[in-house]
Homo-oligomer: A and B are copies of this chain.
Amino acid sequence: MLTVAQAWEAIAQWATPLPELRVPLDEALGLVLAEPGIADLDSPPFDKSLMDGYAVRQADVATAGVTLTVLEEVLAGQVPRRPLGPGQATRIMTGAMLPEGADLVVPVEQTRTLNADRSQVEIATGGLPAGKNILRRAESTPRGTTVIPAGRLIRAVEVGCLAELGKSSVRVIRSPRVGVLATGDELVAVSERPGPGQIRNSNEPMLVAQLRQAGSQAFSLGVARDNVADLRRLVQRGLEYDVLVLSGGVSAGQVDLVPTVLAECGVQPVFHKIQLRPGQPLWFGVLERNRPATERLSPPGTGSTRERCLVFGLPGNPVSSLVCCELFVKTALRGLAGLGATPPAPTWAKLTAPHTNGGSRPTWHPAVLAFTPTGPEVATVPWVGSADLSATARANAMIGFEQPGQHYPAGTWVPVLAW
């Protein structure tokens, strides 16, 4: 049985970036940039005032209380008409272009206008250094600089930078499309009242929400009943997505339909079962759409353009399903989206109460993470097992207890994944 680390490695081999496409900048948020963002102009394109105030010659204002003649006012977006001579000043606004000859901006708060037409200004402060309150041309970013490297996740600040660079559209990695298929005769619609032995289909909407929060486009495929015809029909529809996530139907001894139908549809198993609680029955396989039937499945080399669908069979228990989605499906999504199929990066935190990891497997346990002025703290949430979703709703994170049978004293730093 694979360890969690081995499962991550196996997934990473298959979760390579999806094709690129060009999108308008206002649709790029949350995607990965596929081209570098290069400065097409110096930034700023001119010497620029960082304050509202007066552009002056530093030599003129070495001492406090000097009076200067005001030539003109320059607003942001305007071009100064007159160069500054000795004894002269230009009223200037934040972001506006400095007049020729000026080498200092005195903030308006340190000045006093002397007459109604504001033609004279007294500079209250003396001895400000040359260059103060000025951003020099190209000081922020000279033309030709790579401001944002390819491969970067586009957050709001990158949207701002790309706009500055004149990128009204950008090449990005396409975001993964995921189909979610619940399986089982016991499932009824959320709006129905379950009869004896039945439960509501809660995993499917939960997984769709979880996958959307992770930035993918996730869609419900409905519920497949435990018969070959129904399952095959819906699995075939699901295999048209980049990822197919099945909920239920992969536990040992359970109706063995899912693996059988997946095999029939050309999906080759990569692993089944991992050393993990909850989530042991996890199943992972791959469909390569244009692979000759005679060729064996092998991980793609760099630049492979084969279309494939990654298939996850998640356990039917809601908490197992949630945990496996966090740990494994999201790792695959990062790989497909161009962020690298690396394992999730933990926030580490100190345990506030001791915990013993019973059982024989590493455990990811629902937990409450809190940030305090002396560092992050975490506590497990009382929990009656992998079907207990309502207890899990009190959690905002999960703790990785990696050693089975080990006692973790209070104060131990443990890896935590925030939800």
A316 neighbours in B (Cβ, 8 Å) = 76, 94-95
| Nearest-CB residue, chain B, relative to A198 | B77
Chain B nearest Cβ from A183, distance in angstroms: 10
A 238-255 contacts with B by CB, 8 A: 248, 251-255
Are B75 and A160 closer than 8 Å at their CB atoms? no
Q: Does A357 count as interface, using CB distance less than 8 angstroms?
A: no
A203 neighbours in B (Cβ, 8 Å) = 160
Q: Does A269 count as interface, using CB distance less than 8 angstroms?
A: no
Number of A residues, CB within 8 Å of B: 112
Q: Interface digits, A245-278 against B, CB 8 Å rule (1 contact, 0 not)?
A: 0001001111100000000000000000000000
Are B189 and A393 closer than 8 Å at their CB atoms? no
Are A253 and B202 closer than 8 Å at their CB atoms? no
Are B196 and A97 closer than 8 Å at their CB atoms? yes
A 292-317 contacts with B by CB, 8 A: 315-317
Chain B nearest Cβ from A258, distance in angstroms: 13
Are A196 and B157 closer than 8 Å at their CB atoms? no
Are A77 and B187 closer than 8 Å at their CB atoms? yes
Are A190 and B206 closer than 8 Å at their CB atoms? no
Are B190 and A135 closer than 8 Å at their CB atoms? no
Are A390 and B52 closer than 8 Å at their CB atoms? no
Q: Does A161 count as interface, using CB distance less than 8 angstroms?
A: yes
Q: Does A205 count as interface, using CB distance less than 8 angstroms?
A: yes
Are B168 and A191 closer than 8 Å at their CB atoms? yes
Contact among B159, B164, B415 with A200 in the assembled complex (CB-CB below 8 Å)? B164
Q: Do most interface residues of chain A lie in helix, strand or loop, or is the interface mixed?
A: loop
Are B393 and A157 closer than 8 Å at their CB atoms? yes
Are A348 and B371 closer than 8 Å at their CB atoms? yes
Are B205 and A388 closer than 8 Å at their CB atoms? no
A413 neighbours in B (Cβ, 8 Å) = 373-375
A210 neighbours in B (Cβ, 8 Å) = 156
Are B251 and A387 closer than 8 Å at their CB atoms? no
Are A348 and B372 closer than 8 Å at their CB atoms? yes
Q: Does A29 count as interface, using CB distance less than 8 angstroms?
A: yes
Are B375 and A95 closer than 8 Å at their CB atoms? no
Are A387 and B50 closer than 8 Å at their CB atoms? yes
Q: When chains A and B are docked, how far (Å) is the Cα of A160 from the Cα of B190? A: 10
| Nearest-CB residue, chain B, relative to A133 | B385
Residue ranges of A at the interface with B (Cβ–Cβ < 8 Å): 25-26, 29-30, 39-41, 43-46, 48, 50, 52-53, 75-79, 91, 93-97, 108-109, 135, 139-141, 145, 147-148, 155-161, 163-164, 166-168, 184-187, 189-194, 196-210, 212-213, 220, 226, 248, 251-255, 315-318, 322, 345-348, 350, 371-376, 384-393, 395, 413, 415, 419
A-B contact pairs, 24 of them (CB 8 A): A26-B205, A26-B209, A29-B213, A48-B387, A75-B185, A75-B186, A77-B197, A77-B198, A91-B253, A94-B251, A94-B254, A95-B186, A95-B317, A108-B253, A135-B384, A135-B387, A140-B391, A157-B389, A157-B393, A157-B419, A164-B199, A164-B389, A345-B371, A348-B376
